[in-house]
Chain A
Amino acid sequence: MLRERGQHEVFCGLAGIIWLHRKIQDAFFLIIGSRTCAHLMQSAAGVMIFAEPRFATAVLEEQDLAGLADAQDEIDRVVERLLERRPDIRLLFLVGSCPSEVIKIDLQRAALRLSKVHSARTRVVSYSGSGLETTFTQGEDACLAALVPDLPSAAADEAPDLLVVGTLPDVVEDQFGRLFAEMGIARTAFLPPRRSTALPAIGPKTRFLLAQPFLGDTARCLEARGARRLAAPFPFGVEGTTGWLAAAAQDFGVDDLTFRRVTAPGRERAARALERQRATLEGKRVFFFPESQLEIPLARFLVRELGMEAIEIGTPYLHRAHLAEELALLPDTALLSEGQDVDRQLDRCRAARPDLVVCGLGLANPLEAEGITTKWSIELVFSPIHGYEQAGDLAELFARPLLRRALLKV
Chain B
Amino acid sequence: MRLTVWTYEGPPQVGAMRVATAMRGVHYVVHAPQGDSYADLLFTMIERRPGRPAVSYTSFQARDLGTDTAALFKTAAADAVARFQPEALLVGSSCTGELIQDDPGGLAKALGLSIPVIPLELPSYQRKENWGAAETFYRLVRTMAGPAAPAPGTPRPPRPAGQRPRCNLLGPTALGFRHRDDVQAVVALLGRMGVDVAVVAPLGASPADLARLGDADFNVVLYPEIADTAVRWLERSFGQPSVRTVPIGVGATRAFIAEVAAVAGVDPAPALAEESLRLPWWSRSVDSTYLTGKRVFIFGDATHAVAAARVATEEFGFEVVGLGTYAREYARELRACAGALGLEALITDDYLDVEAAIAEAHPDLVLGTQMERHIAKRLGVPCAVISAPVHVQDFPARTAPQMGFDGANVLFDTWVHPLMMGLEEHLLMMFRDDFEFHGDAAPSHLSAHRPAGEPAADPRDQVAPAATLDGSAAQSDPARTTPPGAPSWEDSAEKELRKVPFFVRGKARRNTERFAAERGLASISVETLYDAKAHFGR
Contact = CB atoms under 8 A, between A and B. Distances in A.
A8 interface: yes
Given A36-B94, A88-B467, A102-B100, A61 B34 contact: no
Contacts of B41: 43, 360-362
Contacts of A39: 7, 10-11, 14, 39
B471 A32 contact: no
B45 A365 contact: yes
Contacts of B96: 34, 36, 98-99, 102, 131-132
B65 A36 contact: no
A348 to B, nearest CB: 14
B11 A36 contact: yes
A40 interface: yes
Given A12-B34, A101-B62, A35 B7 contact: yes
B7 A34 contact: no
Interface in B84-140: 94-96, 99-100, 124-126, 128
B36 interface: yes
Contacts of A410: none
Given A60-B125, A65-B125, A366 B468 contact: no
Given A34-B125, A133-B62, A366 B50 contact: yes
Interface in B1-21: 1-7, 9-11, 13-14
B95 A99 contact: yes
Interface stretch (B51-59, B220-228, B246-254): B51-59
Contacts of B9: 35
B308 to A, nearest CB: 22
A40 B7 CA distance: 10
Contacts of B13: 36
Interface in A37-52: 38-40, 42-44, 46-47, 49-50, 52
B44 A85 contact: no
A135 interface: yes
Contacts of A35: 4, 7, 9-11, 95, 124-125, 128
Contacts of A43: 38-39, 41-42
Nearest to B375: A50
B34 A62 contact: no
B51 A366 contact: yes
Nearest to A136: B35
B289 interface: no
B5 A40 contact: no
Contact of A103 (B42, B52, B99, B473): B99
Given A42-B7, A369-B51, A59 B2 contact: yes
A361 B45 contact: yes
A69 B57 CA distance: 31
A349 B1 CA distance: 43
A11 interface: yes
A36 B467 contact: no
Contacts of B52: 362-363, 366
Interface string B58-94: 1111100100000000011001000100000000001
Contact of A132 (B40, B65, B83, B126): B65
A contact patch SS: helix
A7 B60 contact: no
Interface residues of A, number: 66
A78 B33 contact: no
Nearest to A40: B38
Interface string A94-137: 00001101110000000000000000000000000011110100
B35 A361 contact: no
Interface string B255-296: 000000000000000000000000000000000000000000
B534 interface: no
Given A53-B5, A362-B52, A366-B52, A36 B36 contact: yes
Interface residues of B, number: 61
A365 B61 CA distance: 27
Contact of B6 (A9, A42, A81, A363): A42
Given A101-B62, A131-B34, A56 B4 contact: yes
A38 B4 contact: yes
Nearest to B466: A52
B76 A131 contact: no
A85 B37 CA distance: 33
Contact of A343 (B51, B61, B79, B471): B79
Contacts of A36: 10-11, 13, 36, 94-96, 124
Given A56-B4, A58-B1, A362-B41, A131 B50 contact: no
A131 B33 contact: yes
Given A85-B469, A86-B471, A8 B125 contact: no
Which of B38, B51, B391, B467 gathers most chain A CB within 10 Å? B38
Contact of A8 (B6, B51, B57, B124): B57
A82 interface: yes
Which of B39, B61, B94, B100 gathers most chain A CB within 10 Å? B61
Interface of B: 1-7, 9-11, 13-14, 33-42, 44-45, 48-52, 56-62, 65, 75-76, 79, 83, 94-96, 99-100, 124-126, 128, 371, 374, 391, 464, 466-471, 473
23 contacts: A7-B57, A10-B35, A10-B37, A12-B38, A13-B35, A14-B35, A34-B95, A35-B10, A35-B95, A36-B124, A39-B39, A52-B467, A57-B5, A61-B2, A65-B99, A78-B3, A85-B471, A86-B467, A86-B471, A98-B33, A132-B60, A133-B62, A366-B49
Which 5 pairs from chain A and chain B are nearest by CB?
A12-B35, A131-B35, A369-B50, A362-B40, A98-B96
